[in-house]
Structures are given as C-alpha cells and as structure tokens.
C-alpha cells in the first residue's frame, strides 16, 4: 500500500522513451507537473489524454487541458474527438473517465485517481501497478491506436 502520488511519480520517473497519461481532469498537481517536465527533459515523448472543457464540448468545468499545457508545454495533448464521442447523437453525456499512466510499454498504473491535488494527496483512491507482461504493452498499444485512428485527436489551445 502506497500513496497514489508516489506511485504516479514512480511511473513517470521510470519512463525512458514514452509516457502516456490519461485522466478525467487535471487540477493543481504540482508534483506531477514537475515529474512530467523532468521526463520531457530526459527526452521522453509525453502524450496526455484529458476530458475537454464544457466550452470545448466536454464535461469539465475547469480547463485542465489548458492549465496542464501551460505547465508542461512540451507534451502532446489529446481529447476524445466529439464527432466520434457520440455517434448516436443522443442527449447522453460521454466523457474520458479512464485514469492510467503507462511508461515504455512495460509499466502501467491503472487507478481511480484523477490528476488533482485532492486525489493524489487526500482522497482514498485505488490503483494497480503492473510491471512487465502484456498488460502495459497492450494498454499502450490501445492508446496509440486511439490516436492513430483519431478517436482521440490532438488538442491545441484556442
């Protein structure tokens, strides 16, 4: 049993080549910002998928994408493409609710925790750290496929 923040940072710090981070929201997680910037300084390719803001058709009131992009400008940021998100065009809400960090297709942390100070420092969260095997490989391949197929699309601030 370890603190969610510690495990998240361990996965980020272990990345040598590529890192894929998925969360519903980002808010005031300065230790994560520091770790992500250090990963970029090491030459790690960083990709981040977050739920988009209400203004951009998503369900998050605070624009975590914009604030994380400002704090970690070297990363590639993604959102769930709204044209793919709701193919039935119904009135139901759809959001990126997954949360994981995958490093080099060899280490994956799948968690209930968002990238927020509350989730990382105070809340009771649950997560599973997976070292090696095919789960980290398959998870990374799946996320990359979502980007390649443009189910998730690159996001740039407007």
Kindly report, residue by residue over 103-129, the tens digit of the pLDDT: 999 999 999 999 999 999 899 999 999
pLDDT tens sequence across 35-94: 999 999 999 999 999 998 888 878 888 889 999 999 999 999 999 987 787 777 787 778
Residue 135: CATH number of its domain? 3.30.870.10
Cβ contact 95:24 at 8 Å: yes
Confidence band, pLDDT 50/70/90 cuts, at residue 7: very high
The packing angle between helices 4-14 and 30-41, to 10°, is 10
Q: Tell me the three-class secondary structure of 3-63, residue by residue.
A: CHHHHHHHHHHHCCCEEEEEECCEECCHHHHHHHHHHHHCCCEEEEEECCEHHHCCCECCC
What domain count does the chain have? Answer: 1
Q: Is the pLDDT of residue 137 over 90?
A: yes
Task: Give the pLDDT score at 53.
Answer: 85
Task: Give the pLDDT score at 145.
Answer: 97
C-alpha 87/C-alpha 109 separation (Å) is: 30
> Closest by alpha carbon to 10, among 39, 40, 30?
39
Task: Give the pLDDT score at 29.
Answer: 94
Backbone φ and ψ for 20, nearest 5 degrees, come out as: -120, 125
Neighbouring-strand partners of residue 79: 153
Give the range of the structural domain holding residue 132, as residue numbers without chain letter.
Answer: 4-155
* Token code pair at residue 94: 């759809």
> Closest by alpha carbon to 8, among 153, 127, 158?
127
More confident residue, 93 or 150: 150
Task: Give the pLDDT score at 66.
Answer: 93
Q: Kind and range of the H or E element at 67?
A: helix 64-71
Task: Give the pLDDT score at 1.
Answer: 63
Chain center to CA of 129: 15
Q: Is the pLDDT of residue 132 over 70?
A: yes
More confident residue, 32 or 63: 32
């Amino acid at each position: 049993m370890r603190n969610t923040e510690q495990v998240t940072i361990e996965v980020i710090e272990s990345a040598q080549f590529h890192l894929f981070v998925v969360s519903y929201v980002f808010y005031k997680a300065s230790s994560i910002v520091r770790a992500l910037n250090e990963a970029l300084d090491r030459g790690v390719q960083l990709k981040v998928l977050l739920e988009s803001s209400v203004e951009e058709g998503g369900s998050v009131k605070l624009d975590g994408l914009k604030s994380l992009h400002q704090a970690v400008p070297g990363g590639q940021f993604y959102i769930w493409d709204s044209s793919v998100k709701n193919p039935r065009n119904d009135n139901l809400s759809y959001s990126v609710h997954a949360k994981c960090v995958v490093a080099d297709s060899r280490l994956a942390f799948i968690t209930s925790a968002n990238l927020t100070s509350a989730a990382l420092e105070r809340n009771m969260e649950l997560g599973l750290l997976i070292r090696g095997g095919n789960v980290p490989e398959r998870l990374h391949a799946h996320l990359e496929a979502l980007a390649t197929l443009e189910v998730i699309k690159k996001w740039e601030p407007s």
